């Protein structure tokens, strides 16, 4: 079995996160609110998985909780950042499971609000890599 190349894993997750962030912005411009927020979550999830790989020197776990991934990565978000992670975490399920599709109703202005907050975390996580 080949040795795990951590930097290759980090690059995989970082590049995926960057692509998903672009998709998120494009979806928001198309007024695809639920999908835009799902991709915002996915982007942050992938950045956190890059941090987990670097911290643990292992593959990232197959989980979606932003808070839990931050714990695995031993990243110490402040209370404001934890609040944002918890907010954005809600949008993971909405895109995945049919019983949650109507659970969270958002307006276009809500999407812009959440994307602005997600961008804070996105920028912070990129800088930390």
Q: What is the pLDDT of residues 85-97, one digit of tens each?
A: 999 999 986 545 6
Q: Secondary structure of the chain: what % helix, strand, coil (to 5)?
A: 75, 0, 25
Q: Are 28 and 119 in contact (CB under 8 A)?
A: no
Q: Are 38 and 95 in contact (CB under 8 A)?
A: yes
pTM over 0.85: yes
Task: Give all domains of the chain, ordered by start, each with its CATH number.
Answer: 6-128 (1.20.120.330)
User: Which DSSP symbol is given to 4?
Assistant: P
How far, in Å, CA of 46 to CA of 69, rounded? 10
How far, in Å, CA of 29 to CA of 123, rounded? 20
Q: What is the pLDDT of residues 26-79, one digit of tens each?
A: 999 999 998 999 999 999 999 999 999 999 999 999 999 999 999 999 999 999
């Amino acid at each position: 079995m080949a040795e795990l190349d951590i930097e290759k894993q980090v690059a995989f997750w970082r590049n995926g996160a960057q692509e998903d962030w672009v998709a998120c912005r494009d979806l928001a411009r198309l007024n695809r609110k639920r999908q835009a927020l799902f991709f915002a979550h996915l982007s942050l999830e992938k950045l956190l998985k890059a941090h987990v790989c670097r911290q643990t020197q292992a593959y990232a776990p197959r989980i979606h909780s932003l808070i839990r991934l931050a714990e695995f990565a031993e990243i110490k978000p402040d209370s404001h950042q934890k609040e944002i992670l918890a907010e954005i975490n809600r949008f993971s399920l909405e895109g995945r499971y049919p019983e949650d599709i109507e659970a969270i109703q958002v307006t276009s202005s809500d999407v812009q609000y959440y994307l602005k907050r997600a961008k804070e975390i996105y920028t912070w996580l990129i800088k930390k890599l």
